[in-house]
Structure 1
């Protein structure tokens, strides 16, 4: 695996591109799960399209680049892929029911769950600053869940469940990243994810309209582009430096929602998102301090 020279400016540009693409995947999932492109597709079918076309895009890149692969750790890959498929499917289901900005904000609890799960699974120690960041993110999530009898959004539990699963997936990714090259991880992940998604989609599959086929294809390609940009960003700067720029996904998601669906975040959404982002930023700042 080639070691790249650190370049914070290029890393930021790659992360900004990744955030644009990630918000775009959420937008496409919402369009496919609504009646904008035809009869609403089931989240399992949207997830299947995401893995199908992402696998085709990544395998094409592998065919052109012909990188050298090492022996994969299949148990880790299977665990990571199963968790990723479940998390992605829950997120695609969520955006069909709640605003993109709310779903995106709740998904930012993902690194907090990853931190908490690293305690028993990786034996990592968590200090008071990390606990404070986790508490703030949790409080922000409660605000977005609107826990009043008349305002509670049961569907907001979907992105929360996705955040838990994707946080656990990050543990597997961390273990894999120490063993294998990024392109190998992406290829195997999408191959296994496609296998799982294909088995799961059979009972609910319906013929997509031409517009939906185009949307599914765009979804998979954009996911692959987002993953490539994210990996390149991480390769050129410390994760603690570049991760906060990923929070701009929330800005893009809110913009897409406002322009295409006329959904403007209310005060509760803005407050909850601000609290979550503050907690996540505190966590990123603390991680950077620990590396200095």
Structure 2
């Protein structure tokens, strides 16, 4: 088995992989939204994303004689990660379908804020003034993006924002799970078992929602699945070579791609309120990352 990300850190490689992952995720979100507008159901999109990923990864490993990479002694951990990941996918894809791309992407940047809250609640970690300030700043940015009292102005609804905030919460939990799996499993195994275990579950719902599509819509669904599979592999590999707190910074570049796609594909320019709220959320994430690094250095110096 391969060593985990903590054992062999390669921060520059991790940052580069996460940068590519951010582009892939933004592209996948664009394709999800396009396919959704053409009648593809949320359940359909998730099923094909997972089923095609499992088939492609499995076939690719078989063709190269590397099926041994799928051997695991942690099927229970993979099952838990699969359940959490599937739950998170419904919120991630749902946010893209319910919100404009740029807004959905911006709300996804609250993941570091949720990481702080999870550390406090589950691990009873003491949160100091720096990180509390970041939490307050981040949610202030969410309020600016949400624009309370504006109704459904610019396509932002209360339901969309609620779903959009659940997505990064799940991403945070999943990041902890993947980093733990990376200690003993290789990226191909993590990606394959997630897809293989979750696709049959979503498949049970497929007969209730599946509809006929034209060739262009099927092409979009296929492209979405392929790009999503690539993003999953990039994300998992990045977590092997770098800590989640640091490489999450590369996710902010997804806003540029989301804004680009929003304008050129969906003919919707990001509103001024987004450019006011997004810097607050991004600044909160940067402050948290800086503080986490300071605390890590303090622990090393104190011999913890």
Whether TM-score is above 0.5 comes out as yes
Pair 250,213 (structure 1): closer, same or farther in 2 beyond 3 Å: same
Cross-structure match for 1:270: 275
Cross-structure match for 1:44: 43
Cross-structure match for 2:89: 88
Q: How does 1:252-267 map to 2 (within 5 A)?
A: 252-267=257-272
Q: How does 1:147-166 map to 2 (within 5 A)?
A: 147-148=148-149, 150=151, 151=153, 153-154=157-158, 155-166=160-171
Q: Distance in 1 between matches of 2:150 and 2:281?
A: 23
The alpha-carbon deviation at position 134 of structure 1 amounts to: 2.0
TM-score (norm 1): 0.88
Superposed CA RMSD: 2.3
The alpha-carbon deviation at position 83 of structure 1 amounts to: 2.5
Q: Distance in 1 between matches of 2:288 and 2:216?
A: 41
The alpha-carbon deviation at position 137 of structure 1 amounts to: 1.7
TM-score (norm 2): 0.85
Per-residue CA deviation, residues 253-291 of structure 1 (Å, 9 max, x unaligned), is 111111111111111111111111111111122222233
Q: Distance in 2 between matches of 1:121 and 1:62?
A: 37
Q: Secondary structure at the match of 1:261?
A: coil
- Aligned equivalent of 1:243, options 242, 245, 248: 248
Native 8 Å contact 1:138 1:276 kept in 2: yes
Cross-structure match for 1:53: 52
Q: Distance in 1 between matches of 2:119 and 2:214?
A: 43
Q: Distance in 1 between matches of 2:225 and 2:121?
A: 34
Native 8 Å contact 2:182 2:240 kept in 1: no
Cross-structure match for 2:106: 105
Between 105-114 and 161-170, report the one with greater CA deviation. 161-170
Cross-structure match for 2:127: 126
Pair 274,82 (structure 1): closer, same or farther in 2 beyond 3 Å: same
Per-residue CA deviation, residues 104-125 of structure 1 (Å, 9 max, x unaligned), is 1101212322332233334444
How many residues matched? 287
Per-residue CA deviation, residues 78-118 of structure 1 (Å, 9 max, x unaligned), is 33222222222222222223210100110121232233223
Pair 92,218 (structure 1): closer, same or farther in 2 beyond 3 Å: same
Cross-structure match for 2:22: 19
Q: Secondary structure at the match of 1:166?
A: helix
Cross-structure match for 2:290: 285
Q: Distance in 2 between matches of 1:234 and 1:167?
A: 12
Q: Distance in 2 between matches of 1:165 and 1:232?
A: 19
Q: Distance in 2 between matches of 1:126 and 1:10?
A: 30
Between 13-22 and 157-166, report the one with greater CA deviation. 157-166
Cross-structure match for 1:31: 34
